[in-house]
Amino acid sequence: MNIEDKLVVSVINGLKALYGQDVPVAQVQLQKTKKEFEGHLTLVVFPFLRMSKKGPEQTAQEIGEYLKANEPSVAAFNVIKGFLNLTIASSAWIELLNNIHADKQYGIIAATDNSPLVMIEYSSPNTNKPLHLGHVRNNLLGNALANIVMANGNKVVKTNIVNDRGIHICKSMLAWLKYGNGETPESSGKKGDHLVGDYYVAFDKHFKAEVAGLMEKGMTKEEAEAASPLMNEAREMLVKWEAGDPEVRSLWAKMNNWVYEGFDETYRKMGVSFDKIYYESNTYLEGKEKVVEGLEKGFFYKKEDGSVWADLTPEGLDHKLLLRADGTSVYMTQDIGTAKLRFADYPIDKMIYVVGNEQNYHFQVLSILLDKLGFEWGKSLVHFSYGMVELPEGKMKSREGTVVDADDLIEEMVSTAKETSNELGKLDGLTQEEADNIARIVGLGALKYFILKVDARKNMTFNPKESIDFNGNTGPFIQYTYARIQSVLRKAAEAGIVIPSEIPVGIELSEKEEGLIQMVADFAAVVKQAGEDYSPSIIANYTYDLVKEYNQFYHDFSILREENEAVKVFRLALSENVAKVVRLGMGLLGIEVPDRM
């Protein structure tokens, strides 16, 4: 039982003894004492004035005296107006540290057979270009979210829907046929996703040149775009693809496989994985089927041109297109089809979609449609909506090839980490292999932490230079503190000091040490909060605050040079548990921590 729970029980007993009243647990409010007052925890006494029939100060005084006499963990108290500030005894803090010390996975709740199953969709790339900075934010958020939801005792299935069909895919295919001269990833030495992305850019370049030529002959921009032979060929290719033309399908399969191999390599570098991948080429027909079924049941209606629509005006929205007049599907149809397949594969209790905020309306509509079509989790689906990510230079566009590729970014982060670490002498005395591994851990840690510390809903600017700073609210700062603690623990082990499984109570702790234990203990509540709010940034910023606090303690107090043996062992145990929580917290964000650096 933690200190708060113990105190709540004692307060309830006290109110019964003092005023003869039974009080529900929910009425006993404990909060952290404000910095300017003495004490650790504060009890709000206003709810109890009806029972005591006395003023707030006198009531607080009486409850304080009862607790001081009857609750061993209360060492002292003071009253400020209607607030009772309680100072917790050193022995209670050491007991709390012992409880945390005994739990290797402190703050993490394991799933059981009866736990709800949460499916989280993230990544959702198109197979016509490599993953870029926007995908990086999506993948890191999705992966961290999956870890956090799992740490709150849920079963989790991580899933990805690959957009592998449509006009944009045909553009890359057509450009490769026209300008590729049979180039392959092997012949060019390029990653497959980069190679296909180059042809997507090439299509756009030739298309623009065609349009400009037609406009010189007197056409308007719209007329020129409609008349472009290249665009018409791409449209014809899509029709052939839909009809299952063997030649188009075989080219499609070949180029898509190049892209998948490229994606897999990027996912591996990023430390991101999926339990199940769905492909739009398999789901769009399922979606059509569901829409036709909805039409038969009268949920949807057909227009004269044969297109199928949903009337969402009763829900305060508009009319939504579900099937075009020519029978081809739209994104909404595909999402319905994917939902159908997923529901057949897994007994989903909750569905979370990690998709940018430009799709807010889409998911509002999808939720209503899935609910109408009888998917139990439709109504409660969560759209985890996040903002844009940009570089200090501004916006990116994939058609024009001005996008920052995920691979280039990762490579740049790792080489910057190596340079910075070398300049600071943090890689001295390591083998080449160790130094390379640490540069990888630090570079990726910098990238992931910088992106995840920002509230996901906000737009953000990713600044590579700033993210790799070894001071301030950065991944490397946290990683360095972790490595520093490991170094202290190694030296202690070399000196033959053993940290016992239980630290004996009986030493007096400083305010700093008590505050650190309190912060470490907060980790469990932070994980719970991050799960309830779907917010990785809560864990990132808590971990930074903990590390900052520990660094002040490390600066102000001796650990290995402490002469009192019991105090030394306590400080080592405290350090070890700070490191454990840092490792667990960073692990939830998908960030590794190095033992040396």
CB 439 within 8 A of CB 421: yes
Question: Could you read off the pLDDT of 564-592 as tens digits, one per residue?
Answer: 999 999 999 999 999 999 999 999 999 99
Mean pLDDT of the chain: 93
| Cα gap 411→399, rounded to integer Å | 23
Residue 395: its pLDDT value, please? 53
The residue out of 38, 64, 87 marking a domain boundary is 87
Q: Which pLDDT band, with edges at 50, 70 and 90, does 396 fall under?
A: very low
Query: Can you read off the two tokens belonging to residue 474?
Result: 């950065």
Q: Are 83 and 175 within one domain?
A: no
In the prediction, which pLDDT does 284 show?
85
Q: Is 355 contained in some domain? A: no
Query: Residues 428, 515: one domain?
Result: yes
> Does residue 9 sit within a domain?
yes
Does one domain contain both 83 and 171?
A: no
Pairing label, strands 350-356, 382-386:
parallel
Establish if 36 belongs to a structural domain. yes
In CATH, what number is assigned to the domain containing residue 441? 1.10.730.10
Q: Do 173 and 73 reside in the same domain of the chain?
A: no
pLDDT surpasses 80 at 533: yes
**Residue 493 lies inside a defined structural domain of this protein:** yes
- Between residues 101 and 424, which one has the greater pLDDT? 101
Are 553 and 466 members of one domain?
yes
Give the pLDDT band (50/70/90) at residue 394.
low
State the residue range of the domain holding 514.
404-587
Evaluate whether residue 473 is within a structural domain.
Answer: yes
273, 289, 316 - which closes a domain: 273
Say how many domains are in the chain: 3
- AA letter at 582: V
Contact assessment for residue 98 and residue 34, using Cβ atoms and an 8 Å cutoff: no
Q: For residue 36, give the DSSP letter.
A: T
Cβ 542 vs Cβ 585: under 8 Å: yes
| Residue 434 domain-assigned (yes or no) | yes
Q: Dump pLDDT digits (tens) for 129-164.
A: 999 999 999 999 999 999 999 999 999 999 999 999
Residue 443's nearest CA partner among 466, 471, 411, 473 is 411
> Which of 39, 59, 87 is the C-terminal boundary of a domain?
87
pLDDT on residue 398: 45
Distance separating alpha carbons of residues 531 and 120, to the nearest angstrom: 13
Do residue 454 and residue 548 come from a single domain?
yes
pTM, 2 dp: 0.91
In the chain, the percentage of residues whose pLDDT exceeds 90 is 86
With respect to residue 229, please indicate whether it lies within any of the assigned structural domains. Answer: yes
Whether residue 435 is found in the same domain as residue 556? yes
pLDDT at 405: 87
**Dihedral of alpha carbons 254, 256, 257, 261, sign:** positive
- For residue 260, give the 3-state DSSP assignment: helix
The tokens for 142 are 């999705």
Is residue 126's pLDDT more than 80? yes
Q: Is the pLDDT of residue 331 over 90?
A: no
Per-residue pLDDT, averaged over 366-371, amounts to 94
Residue pLDDT, tens place only, 293-307 = 999 999 999 999 999
- Statement to judge: residues 44 and 185 lie in one domain: no
pLDDT in tens, 431-446: 999 999 999 999 999 9
Using the predicted structure, report yes or no on whether residue 402 has a pLDDT greater than 70: no
pLDDT for residue 593: 97
Same domain, 555 and 423: yes
Which of 377, 362, 381, 266 is closest to 322 using CA atoms?
362
Side chain identity at residue 128, one-letter code: N
Q: How far is CA 146 from the centre of its chain?
A: 7
Specify if 306 maps to a domain: no
Average pLDDT over residues 338-352: 94
Relative to beta strand 350-356, strand 117-121 is: parallel
Spatial separation of the C-alpha atoms in residues 195 and 259, rounded to whole Å: 8
Question: Residues 82, 208: one domain?
Answer: no
